[in-house]
Amino acid sequence: MEKTSIAFFTAFLSLFLVNVMDFSSLSLVEVIHALGDFFVVLVSTRIVKDLNLRNGGFTYGLHRAEVFSVIMNVGIVLIGSLVAVIVSLEEVESSPFSYQLPLILGSFLAAFSVILANGRYGIKEHVVMDSINYIVGAFAGIMILFTNWNVLDPITAIVLVIFNIYISIPILRHSYSILMERSTIDMAKVEEQLRQIDPSVHHLHVWAVCDHINAATLHLKANPDDRLEDLEKRRLKIEKVLKKYNINHVTVQFEINETDKATS
C-alpha cells in the first residue's frame, strides 16, 4: 500500500505544480480529483495497517472507515467540481492564454503514476477512472497547443466535471446502502434456497460490512442428541450456498428450543 500512496501523491503533486505554473480550469479539475483520490488512498492505507496489527482490537467498525473515506472523496470531488464549473464558465467567455505544456506533462505523469499503483479495496477502480481523466486532460492540452483553441481548456474541464459527477453518484448511493446495512441479495429467494437444503433455516440476516465483506447470520434447529459431526455437515452445506452470493462471513446458531421465536 505504501507504493500506492506514493503513486497517488505523485499524481497530486504533479498536478498541483501544474496549477502553480500555469493555472487553468482543466488543471484545477484534475488537481481536485487527484486530491480526493489521494485522501482515499491515504485513509485506506491506514486502515490496512491497523487491520494487520496483531491484537489491534479492530473489527468490523474499522472496515466502515473505508466507506466514510469514499463518501468524503465523493464530497471533495463534487464540491471541487462546482468550483471548477464556475471557473470554467468564466474562462469560456474570456478564453485566456495558457501554455498547456505544464498541463500535458503533468497529466501524463499523473496518469503514469496511478497506473503504477496497485492495491485492493477499490484502488484498481480509482486507477482506471483517474487514468481516463488525466489522459483526456493531456490530449486536450496537446490539441490546444497545436490549434491555439484555448476555449477547449474550460470546455474539457466542464466535460470532465460532468463525467466525474456521473460516476460519483452511483458510488455515493452504494456507500449509503452499505451504511444502512442493506442486504446484498434477494432475501426471499436465498432463504427459500436454503430451506430446500435445511427446512429449519430461520432468522436469516445478510448485510454488507464494506465493499468487500458481506456477512450473514442465521438460526438452525437441532435436537439434543444430534452429533457434532452432523451439525457441522449442515453448517457447511449452508455456507456453501451463501458463498455463491459472495457472503464470506457466516455465523450459524443452532438452537434446541423455541424460546427465541418471540425475538424474530
The one-digit pLDDT tens for each residue of the chain (264 residues) are 567 778 788 888 888 888 778 777 777 888 887 887 787 777 777 766 666 565 556 666 666 777 777 777 777 777 777 777 777 777 665 555 555 677 778 888 878 777 776 555 455 666 677 778 888 888 888 888 888 887 788 888 888 888 888 888 888 888 888 888 888 888 989 999 999 999 999 999 999 887 778 899 999 999 888 899 999 999 999 999 999 999 989 999 999 865 544 444
- For residue 123, the model assigns a pLDDT of 57
Hey, what's the torsion of the CAs at 127, 132, 135, 138, to 10 degrees? Answer: -120
Residue 262 has what pLDDT? Answer: 44
pTM of the model: 0.65
Q: What burial letters (b/e) apply to 214-234, b meaning 16+ CB within 10 Å?
A: bbbebbbebeeeeeeeeeeeb
Grid-cell match 427459500, residue found: 192
Query: Cα(218)–Cα(260) distance, rounded to whole angstroms?
Result: 12
The predicted pLDDT at position 59 comes to 63
Rounded to the nearest 5°, which phi and psi values hold at 254?
Answer: -95, 140
Paired residues of 214 in beta bridges: 208
